[in-house]
């Protein structure tokens, strides 16, 4: 007989991550995105570490496919770029970072981890934009210029991460308070 509280918990966690991933399809400010928060949330709550990494990546991929269908060929070219792999590897790494929240979720810790994940994502992905770029020279000055060019997007990235972390972590904690079966599984 399957463990119903665990199955319910798995379904709720997966559903929450997929739901926020699909918010990428509605109009929003540039880089105001749930992806870093999804990774932290998965890392913090999925009992199996493989699911903690895979579920946010699959949800991200589903939302990327949907964006590709909405935007056409211009977005589909992203799937064969080095930037695609860099983003997905960074999100997997942020899922591992989320393991540090396991059993120790608090507003302050989630806020700190959200800030750290937004900074890590910014640093890694903008390094990727610079590396091998024809636009930015492969010098320290070029790297600084790549980071400077990304700064206007960092604020929205940080705000998006904080917003979606609040939605995910806060929503899940509220559900655990109201649904006894979820408290048993958590």
Write down the pLDDT at residue 1. 43
At 163-175, the pLDDT tens digits run: 999 999 999 999 9
Q: Nearest 5°: CA angle at 124, between 114 and 100?
A: 35
Separation CA 50–CA 121 (nearest Å)? 21
pLDDT, tens digit (0-9, with 9 covering 90-100), for 37-88: 999 999 999 999 999 999 999 999 999 999 888 887 777 777 777 788 999 9
- When divided into structural domains, the chain yields a total of 1
pLDDT, mean of residues 2-9: 74
Place of tokens 């990727």: 128
pLDDT band at residue 19, thresholds of 50, 70 and 90? very high
Q: In this model, does residue 132 exceed pLDDT 80?
A: no
Burial of 17 (0-12, 13-18, 19+ CB in 10 A): buried
Q: Average pLDDT in the 125-130 region?
A: 92
Give the DSSP letter of residue 139: S
pTM: 0.91
Q: Which pLDDT belongs to residue 35?
A: 96
Range of the domain at 121: 4-185
The two tokens of residue 74 are: 């211009």
């Amino acid at each position: 007989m399957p463990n119903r509280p665990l199955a319910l918990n798995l379904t709720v966690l997966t559903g929450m991550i997929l739901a926020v991933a699909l918010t990428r399809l509605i109009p929003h400010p540039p880089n105001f995105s749930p992806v870093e928060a999804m990774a932290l949330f998965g890392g913090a709550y999925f009992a199996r570490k493989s699911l903690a990494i895979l579920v946010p990546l699959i949800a991200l991929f589903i939302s990327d496919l949907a964006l590709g269908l909405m935007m056409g060929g211009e977005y589909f070219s992203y799937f064969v770029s080095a930037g695609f792999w860099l983003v997905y590897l960074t999100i997997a790494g942020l899922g591992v970072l989320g393991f540090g929240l396991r059993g120790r979720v608090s507003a302050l810790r989630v806020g700190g981890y959200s800030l750290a994940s937004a900074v890590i994502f910014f640093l890694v992905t903008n390094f990727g934009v610079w590396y091998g770029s024809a636009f930015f020279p492969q010098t320290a000055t070029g790297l600084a210029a790549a980071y400077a060019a990304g700064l206007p997007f960092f604020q929205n990235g940080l705000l998006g991460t904080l917003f979606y972390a609040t939605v995910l972590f806060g929503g899940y904690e509220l559900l655990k308070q109201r649904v006894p079966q979820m408290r048993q599984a958590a």
